[in-house]
């Protein structure tokens, strides 16, 4: 195989490395370590962080891309150039290869053995629900599917409880004595739910479409797991795009004042006066014209879709930095009047050094709180933008594209509900975990909250 490194993969790996480096920095800093210990002592914070880590692991698997090597043509020379497939796959695709390739004709309900809609029989004797090609195909009699599902789900439940029991023993025996302040019970019980659910799903996945199939027969569970990477990319890369402008302009406006402050205020006031959806739509359409006009820039369809995703992140970052910039300006206006900043001025320290060494460290709690709390809003924004057709590339799987594809099926009789419910549940869990973690981080890093 030939590994492919997309720009979004590089940025995502860079962000993970920054988080690891930040954790090490916090470990070495007594003040930051004390705040993060407060986060670790919160049961809701630990539970939310555990769920978020699971989502990040899925996204990391989906960010390792490669192209498969094509078999050599008969009669080709030994020194012929190696050819690779055009399709770019990920490690998650390799793990879910059966769910990716075992497609049905059209809709099928979760854990079903027949299609959802009736079709004319081959012998012309009326209409019936055809058997699925893969879902429940191991059963000679489809009537045994309920008993088979119960048996396999029970096996998965027992296996999950066994794995969880082992993990709980290891945590209590070796990890808990090293950090008694950590909410280990919250971690253990959150792992119980995650491990049991994953074990049951893994026990059923090889034999059934656990979440059903969509209109073209794709496995909904596979589509939902693939959407996680897109949601995290939108939430994290957009943050990377907005942070530099918000930090620089917010601190500069608050510290310098005067005409610089007026100019920066004018810029973000003008941006706030433009409806965000219209601005994003115009920018996305312009970027799409550029992408369509230069097909030679992209060797594969995955690179083209990745360029659309990065464009969306950049555009959303450009339109979402104003709120954080306003907060940083207000905080800097207060900090510049404090004694330590006045003393630095009196000793002739340059303005850049004061902003970098005295102002920036004292506004990082606002940055951290805003970044974590804005993440959930950005995930929901992607779903809304994809729903109205100005989000990610149509070939990119996301919660928004799943909801957009499923919305017309709600009017069917009977209703096709599982695609919408699957995307909604995963997105709800992701956003809820992000919000709960943001609340804990806010309480831990807000100086006024600690003083209270």
Asked whether 221 and 211 are in contact (CB, 8 A), the reply is yes
pLDDT digits (tens, 9 = 90+) for 412-442: 777 888 888 998 899 889 888 988 888 888 7
How far is Cα 340 from Cα 347, in angstroms, rounded to an integer?
Answer: 11
> What is the pLDDT averaged over residues 39-54?
92
Per-residue pLDDT at 452? 42
Residue 204 CB partners (closer than 8 Å, separation 6+): 111, 149, 152, 153, 156, 210
DSSP-assigned letter for residue 337:
T
Per-residue pLDDT at 78? 56
- Give yes or no for residue 302 having a pLDDT over 50: yes
**Residue 236 token pair:** 């994290």
pLDDT digits (tens, 9 = 90+) for 86-110: 788 899 999 998 888 888 888 888 9
Sorted by where each begins, the domain ranges of the chain are 230-417
How far is Cα 252 from Cα 387, in angstroms, rounded to an integer?
Answer: 38
DSSP characters over 370-428: HHHHHHHHHHHHHHHHHHTT-SS-TTS--HHHHHHHHGGGGGSSS---HHHHHHHHHHH
pLDDT digits (tens, 9 = 90+) for 157-174: 999 999 999 999 999 988
Provide the whole-model pTM.
Answer: 0.85
| Top-confidence residue, 74 or 220 | 220
* Mean pLDDT, all residues of the chain: 84
Distance of CA 227 to the CA centre of its chain: 7
User: Confidence band (pLDDT; 50, 70, 90) for 60?
Assistant: very high
Least confident of 20-29, 122-131, 218-227: 122-131
Per-residue pLDDT at 187? 93
**In degrees rounded to 5, what are phi and psi of residue 306?**
-65, -35
- Give yes or no for residue 72 having a pLDDT over 80: no
| Top-confidence residue, 205 or 385 | 205
Options 1.10.10.10, 1.10.3720.10, 3.20.20.140, 3.30.420.40; CATH of 230-417: 1.10.3720.10
């Amino acid at each position: 195989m030939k590994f492919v490194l997309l720009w979004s993969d590089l940025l995502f790996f860079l962000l993970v490395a920054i988080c690891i480096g930040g954790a090490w920095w916090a470990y070495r800093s007594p003040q930051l370590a004390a705040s993060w210990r407060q986060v670790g002592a919160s049961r809701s914070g630990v539970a939310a962080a555990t769920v978020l880590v699971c989502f990040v692991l899925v996204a990391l698997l989906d960010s390792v891309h490669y192209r498969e090597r094509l078999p050599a043509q008969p009669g080709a020379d030994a020194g012929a150039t190696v050819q690779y497939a055009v399709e770019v796959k990920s490690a998650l695709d390799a793990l879910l290869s059966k769910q990716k390739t075992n497609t049905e004709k059209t809709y099928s309900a979760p854990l079903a053995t027949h299609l959802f809609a009736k079709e004319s029989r081959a012998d012309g004797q009326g209409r019936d629900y055809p058997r699925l090609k893969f879902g429940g195909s191991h059963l000679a009699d489809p009537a045994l599917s309920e008993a088979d599902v119960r048996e396999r789900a029970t096996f998965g439940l027992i296996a999950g409880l066994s794995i969880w029991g082992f993990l709980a023993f290891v945590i209590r025996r070796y990890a808990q004595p090293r950090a008694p302040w950590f909410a280990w019970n919250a971690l253990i019980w959150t792992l119980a739910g995650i491990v049991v659910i994953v074990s049951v799903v893994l026990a059923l996945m090889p034999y059934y479409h656990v979440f059903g199939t969509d209109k073209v027969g794709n496995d909904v569970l596979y589509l939902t797991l693939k959407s996680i990477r897109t949601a995290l990319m939108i939430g994290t890369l957009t943050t990377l795009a907005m942070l530099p402008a918000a930090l620089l302009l917010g601190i500069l406006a608050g510290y310098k004042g005067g005409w610089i402050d007026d100019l920066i205020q004018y810029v973000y006031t003008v941006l706030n006066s433009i409806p965000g959806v219209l601005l994003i739509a115009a920018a996305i359409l312009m970027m799409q014209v550029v992408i369509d006009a230069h097909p030679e820039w992209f060797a594969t369809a995955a690179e083209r879709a990745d360029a659309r995703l990065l464009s969306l992140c950049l555009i959303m970052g450009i339109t979402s930095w104003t709120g954080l910039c306003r907060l940083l300006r207000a905080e800097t206006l207060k900090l510049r009047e404090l004694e330590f900043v006045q003393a630095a001025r009196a000793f002739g320290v340059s303005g850049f050094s004061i902003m970098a060494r005295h102002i920036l460290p004292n506004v990082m709690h606002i940055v951290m709180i805003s970044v974590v709390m804005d993440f959930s809003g950005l995930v929901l924004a992607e779903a809304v933008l994809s729903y109205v057709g100005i989000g990610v590339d149509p070939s990119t799987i996301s919660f928004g594209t799943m909801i957009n594809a499923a919305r017309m099926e709600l009017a069917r009789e009977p209703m096709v509900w599982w695609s919408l419910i699957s995307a909604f549940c995963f997105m709800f869990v992701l956003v809820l975990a992000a919000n709960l973690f943001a609340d804990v981080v806010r309480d831990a890093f807000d100086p006024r909250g600690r003083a209270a």
